[in-house]
Structure 1
Amino acid sequence: MARIEHFNNPNAPKPNSIVVAVTVFVQDEQGRVLLIQRTDNGLWALPGGAQDFGEYIAETAVRETREETGIEVEVTGVVGIYTNPNHVVEYSDGEVRQQFSICFLGRYVAGEPTTSDESSAVRWVAETELDDLSIHPSMRLRIDHGFEHRNQPYIG
């Protein structure tokens, strides 16, 4: 399903749903962050996705990371909560979703980067390489916050 990100766009369609979603900021022993290249829009992003019924939100973070990257993680904290009403995602099926995402801090447990139906590429990326990748501004904010190792989660 195709998706279009609208960010601070006054002509964006009005949202018709809010879905609890997660992203996960996890680093390897060299301090690189785990990123995927999304198959639906080609942008680089933290792994993540929507919560399923019957699932604790931290379980969502672990499951989505495993499904999209092949990497097992343990949730160790929260980078931030991202709810910008000026960021909506328009899907080809007519859904227009207002952003609601909790970005978790994860600890690498095991596994090798592996692609999936949702990720055409998976790799560990150094902070100095981020400017060379196509990353949506709202995703870049989460990544930057993850690298800052804040004392308190971002709420915005």
Structure 2
Amino acid sequence: MSRIDYYDDPAAPTANSLVPAVSAVVRDERGRVLLQRRRDNDLWALPGGAMEIGESVGQAVAREVEEEAGYLVEPVYVIGVYSDPRHVFAYDDGEVRQEFSVCVAAEVRSGRLRVSDESTEVGWFTPDEAADLEMHPRIRVRLTDGLAGVRAAVA
């Protein structure tokens, strides 16, 4: 299903659903962060996505990182809860979604880097390299907070 990402756009349609989501700041032993280049908007992003019914936040984080990057991770702590009603996703089935995302720091337990059908690239980046990548402003806030060691911010 394709989507259009709107941010602070007066032409954006009005949201008709509110969806809980997760994202993860995953760092390796060298301090690099795991990022994916999304197929739907060609921007770099943290692994993450909508929660499924019956999942905890930790289970959703583990599922999303494994699906999108190939790693089994263990959630460690909540970085923050992020929501912005100016940011909506319009899907071709008529859903216009506003999400709120629980962003979690997570550690790799096992697995191997792989690209999913949702992305064109996945890789590990130093904080300086990540600063130069094109990403949505709302993702940049989460990444910056995660790299700074923020815990339980609400934005």
Same fold (TM over 0.5): yes
1:92 is displaced (CA, Å) by: 2.3
Aligned pairs for 1:12-31 (under 5 A) are 12-31=12-31
Structure 1: distance between partners of 2:78 and 2:33? 15
Greater shift after overlay, 73-82 or 116-125?
116-125
- Percent identity among equivalent residues? 45
1:6 equivalent in alignment to 2:6:
yes
1:116 is displaced (CA, Å) by: 1.1
1:105 equivalent in alignment to 2:95:
no
Residue by residue, what CA displacement relative to the aligned partner does 1:77-98 show, whole Å, maximum 9, x if unpaired? Answer: 0111011111111222221111
Residue 23 of structure 2 aligns to which amino acid in structure 1?
T
Aligned pairs for 1:1-156 (under 5 A) are 1-150=1-150, 152-156=151-155
**TM-score, structure 1 normalization:** 0.94
The structure 1 segments of at least 4 consecutive aligned residues displaced by more than 3 Å after TM superposition are none
More strand by share: 2
Contact preservation (8 Å) 1:69, 1:119 = no
Structure 2: distance between partners of 1:143 and 1:5? 19
Q: Secondary structure at the match of 1:130?
A: helix
Structure 1: distance between partners of 2:11 and 2:121? 32
Contact preservation (8 Å) 1:4, 1:90 = yes
Residue 77 of structure 1 aligns to which amino acid in structure 2?
Y
**TM-score, structure 2 normalization:** 0.94
Residue 135 of structure 1 aligns to which amino acid in structure 2?
M
Q: Secondary structure at the match of 1:94?
A: coil
Q: Secondary structure at the match of 1:140?
A: helix
Residue 131 of structure 1 aligns to which amino acid in structure 2?
A
Structure 2: distance between partners of 1:44 and 1:153? 23
Contact preservation (8 Å) 1:22, 1:48 = yes
Structure 1: distance between partners of 2:85 and 2:42? 23
Greater shift after overlay, 24-33 or 87-96?
87-96
Length, aligned pairs only: 155
Report the aligned-residue RMSD. Answer: 1.2
Q: Secondary structure at the match of 1:34?
A: strand
